[in-house]
Amino acid sequence: MSFELYYWDGIQGRGEFVRLALEEAAADYIDVARRPDGMAAMMKLLKSRTEPHIPFAPPFLKDGDLIVSHVANILFYLGPKLGLAPKNEPLRFIANGLQLTITDFVAEVHDTHHPLSTNLYYEDQKEAAKQRAADFITHRIPKFMGHFERVLAQNPQGNKHTVGRGLTYVDLSLFQIVEGLRYAFPRATKDIGKRYPALVALHDAIEQRPNIEKYLTSERRLDFNESGIFRHYPELDQDA
Amino acid sequence: MSFELYYWDGIQGRGEFVRLALEEAAADYIDVARRPDGMAAMMKLLKSRTEPHIPFAPPFLKDGDLIVSHVANILFYLGPKLGLAPKNEPLRFIANGLQLTITDFVAEVHDTHHPLSTNLYYEDQKEAAKQRAADFITHRIPKFMGHFERVLAQNPQGNKHTVGRGLTYVDLSLFQIVEGLRYAFPRATKDIGKRYPALVALHDAIEQRPNIEKYLTSERRLDFNESGIFRHYPELDQDA
């Protein structure tokens, strides 16, 4: 039976971290909301008064009757099934911890353009966004990227992967982080290859994996745009 | 061997969600940073250049050599060991999804007083905080609390617990959410017992559990204060 991924159509957004894992593993999955009537099916589940376990928001994954919500939780669940989690069980909690740091970072990326409210347009909170984005570039990018660089450097199995000796969903998510930051903040990320060499080398290695390459050039991979998490507003970008 | 919890001294903060689980289970644990030289031990781990798996930030839990970071991940790890996770494995992913919704909500609570930057004092972002807090009270509290009320209502095992038929760490975390919101926003939460009756009934039931009662009246339970996640700034509170 296919996995069913539920996420908003039209953006990469948070769903993309799940898609990259499914695509790398060439898993059998349906991107429900991109199908005819898919949005209606997603809204029906979100609003259901009879489902025993309702998700708070997309993305969520349906595997048979089980609905798993939140990116890190979906990846924790899928990782072993897709061969993208460490075999060693304690290391799975290390991978999950890393994925949750990525989750926090993604929320901060979102808040650079929506610091006051998700119910207001960007244009109506632009001044606050400028302050938050400046702080993000000065303090938060170095803090998070520096952390992941250090994680790679201290991995006892070598700096080609974040956890253990093999590819995991965490590596795939970090690829997406580098992609997204470069799209949203081209000035701030100009030198990231020099500053975070192991992280950018990991990004480059992921980009060349056959299934990822195939996915990135397919129609299934949407372009970044100004409705997603990573948005390019030149007025929020600056040299690091 | 004792579990070692590492978290900032002086506040309940995010560490409190882990403490409540450890206390309910009467687990053998050390709250490291509250011991003499504990802060130094925590900083040493955070800054270590030799640890194979470094946490991004407190709280983290050390169990032997394994360091597990992020509240939801710690609880996912501890839950089965403490008898506070569902026995049914798929339901553990439901519990984790709920805990991650709580995590998101806690981040939003934090951002009501720090909408622009964690590197600025509250006083230096007070105007933006007023806007964000007003939005939080009007839109976000109802959205999250309404969700948890619905989760309780739709639990096939009854509305006494969020997942399955028994107590889990999710229930304990929701107790803390209700406590924290009432402390930070007494005006906005005046009627929550009427609006979210099952959720507040769950809160009241948790409060009366013997180990929780013992903990709450002990010196180990710190008071809420204006350095933690839930802060009471009257100018950010308003009637709902």
Which helix (H) or strand (E) segment holds residue B30: the answer is strand B29-31
pLDDT per position as a tens digit, B123-179: 999 999 999 999 999 999 999 999 999 999 999 999 999 999 999 999 999 999 999
Structure tokens at B168: 């889990």
Q: How far apart are alpha carbons B72 and B103 in whole angstroms?
A: 7
Structure tokens at B76: 């996912």
The pLDDT value given to residue A121: 94
Which helix (H) or strand (E) segment holds residue A193: the answer is helix A192-195
Structure tokens at B29: 């644990």
Strand order, beta sheet including A66-69? A29-31, A3-6, A60-63, A66-69
Reduce the DSSP state of residue B29 to 3 states and report it.
Answer: strand
Is the backbone peptide bond immediately before B156 cis, with ω within 30 degrees of 0?
no
CATH topology for the A89-209 domain: Glutathione S-transferase Yfyf (Class Pi); Chain A, domain 2 (1.20.1050)
The pLDDT value given to residue B1: 80
The pLDDT value given to residue A124: 94
Q: Do A115 and B116 touch (CB under 8 A)?
A: yes
Nearest CB to A128 within list B104, B128, B163 = B128
Percentage of chain A surpassing pLDDT 70? Answer: 100
Summary mean pLDDT of chain A: 97
CA neighbor of B26 nearest in space, from B60, B58, B3, B42: B3
pLDDT per position as a tens digit, A63-91: 999 999 999 999 999 999 999 999 999 99
**Which of chain B's residues have a Cβ under 8 Å away from the Cβ of A119?**
135, 139
**Which of chain B's residues have a Cβ under 8 Å away from the Cβ of A120?**
135
Say if A54 is an interface residue toward chain B (CB within 8 Å): yes
The CA distance from A218 to the nearest CA of chain B, in Å, is 31
CATH code linked to domain B89-209+228-236: 1.20.1050.10
ipTM above 0.90, yes or no: yes
Which helix (H) or strand (E) segment holds residue A29: the answer is strand A29-31
Q: Are B145 and B195 in contact (CB under 8 A)?
A: yes
- Interface-testing mutation among A46, A100, A145, with chain B (most B C-beta atoms within 10 A): A100
Chain B, window 201-240: residues with a beta carbon less than 8 angstroms from a chain A beta carbon: none
pLDDT per position as a tens digit, A92-139: 999 999 999 999 999 999 999 999 999 999 999 999 999 999 999 999
CATH code linked to domain A3-82: 3.40.30.10
Strand order, beta sheet including B29-31? B29-31, B3-6, B60-63, B66-69
The CA distance from B166 to the nearest CA of chain A, in Å, is 15
**Residue given tokens 């979210």 in the structure block:** B196
Q: What residues in chain B have per-residue pLDDT under 50? A: none
pLDDT per position as a tens digit, A156-172: 999 999 999 999 999 99
**Greatest CA span in chain A, whole angstroms?**
53
Q: Are B117 and A132 in contact (CB under 8 A)?
A: yes
Q: How far apart are alpha carbons A57 and A240 in whole angstroms?
A: 34
The pLDDT value given to residue A1: 80
Q: How far apart are alpha carbons A137 and A112 in whole angstroms?
A: 10
Summary mean pLDDT of chain B: 97
Q: Do A97 and B128 touch (CB under 8 A)?
A: no
Nearest CA in chain B to A139: B119
Q: Are A20 and A221 in contact (CB under 8 A)?
A: no
Structure tokens at B72: 């939801």
The pLDDT value given to residue B95: 98
The pLDDT value given to residue A128: 94
Q: Where are the domains of chain A?
A: 3-82, 89-209
Q: Phi, psi at residue B61, to the nearest 5°? A: -120, 135
Q: Are B86 and B155 in contact (CB under 8 A)?
A: no
Q: How far apart are alpha carbons B186 and B180 in whole angstroms?
A: 10
The pLDDT value given to residue A48: 96
The pLDDT value given to residue A166: 97
